[in-house]
Amino acid sequence: QSALTQPASVSGSPGQSITISCTGTSSDVGSYSFVSWYQQHPGKAPKLMIYEGSKRPSGVSNRFSGSKSGNTASLTISGLQVEDEADYYCCSYADTITVFGGGTKLTVL
Amino acid sequence: QVQLVQSGAEVKKPGSSVKVSCKASGGNFSSYAISWVRQAPGQGLEWMGRITPIPGIIKYGQKFQGRVTITADKSTSTAYMELSSLRFEDTAEYYCARSIRWGGYYMDVWGKGTTVTVSS
């Protein structure tokens, strides 16, 4: 099972919006509505930000949103804040197993 | 609220095995799955496998198949991950995470991680 494809890095200024893409195949992202996104700050455990493609857990800012089109899922962060600077990973259910993306480093300039 | 407490850091020799535990408190251990995810230094997250204590279904990532064994003790609400034939490249942080079955096993609660160092 291959990893999902994410851009290595993205950047934005405070207040701007950015989108991180996550490209899979018809065996994972394209077949299921089970894409999740995780935020990880250095030295910390990952934190769930989006599940089932577009749902936000309680306590996660509504500045974070998720979507999917075909084999590609996307995470959009609006109104960027300095504390959003972190690594972001997408993840998909894939016919009984789970696969992660390679991760994207978000820099808030 | 569910909390996952992992065992402490380990230093192992190449070729040996390591067993990491993950004890759940709060919630109903039998109602969710436990996934194991590892992260080598400076690298991304890798899914290793998952156990659903009831009905006892276990799935492993292809990369780890044959070297990893995931088990669970329902009586103590503890999951275990054992990795054998350790190599230097198995040096990593190992996380357990609660996985919600009905949502494609997304991981909503994470342990703090266990550092495993493979060194001669």
What is the structure's pLDDT at B27?
85
Quick one: average pLDDT of A73-102?
Answer: 97
Q: Is residue A6's pLDDT more than 90?
A: yes
Average pLDDT, chain A: 96
Q: What percent of chain A has pLDDT over 90?
A: 95
Do A98 and B50 lie within an 8 Å CB cutoff? yes
Q: What percent of chain A has pLDDT over 70?
A: 99
Nearest to B113 among A45, A52, A92 (CB): A45
Q: Tell me if the bond preceding B55 is cis, omega within 30° of 0.
A: yes
- CA neighbours within 13 Å on the CB side: how many for B23? 6
Q: Tell me if the bond preceding A42 is cis, omega within 30° of 0.
A: no
Residue type, position B23, single letter: K
Residue with tokens 């494809």: A5
What is the structure's pLDDT at B31?
87
CA angle A45, A46, A52 (to 5 degrees): 150
- Say if CB B79 and CB B106 are below 8 A apart: no
Mind listing the pLDDT tens digit for each residue in B64-88? 999 999 999 999 999 999 999 999 9
Residues in chain A with CB shorter than 8 Å from the CB of B35 are 98
Q: Is residue A1's pLDDT more than 80?
A: no
Residue of B nearest to A1 (CA): B62
What is the structure's pLDDT at A51?
97
Chain B neighbours among A 1-20 (CB < 8 Å)? 1, 3
Instruction: List the structure tokens of A34.
Output: 């089970």
Nearest to B108 among A34, A48, A92 (CB): A48
Question: Which stretches in chain B have pLDDT values below 70?
Answer: none
Instruction: List the structure tokens of A88.
Output: 């972001």
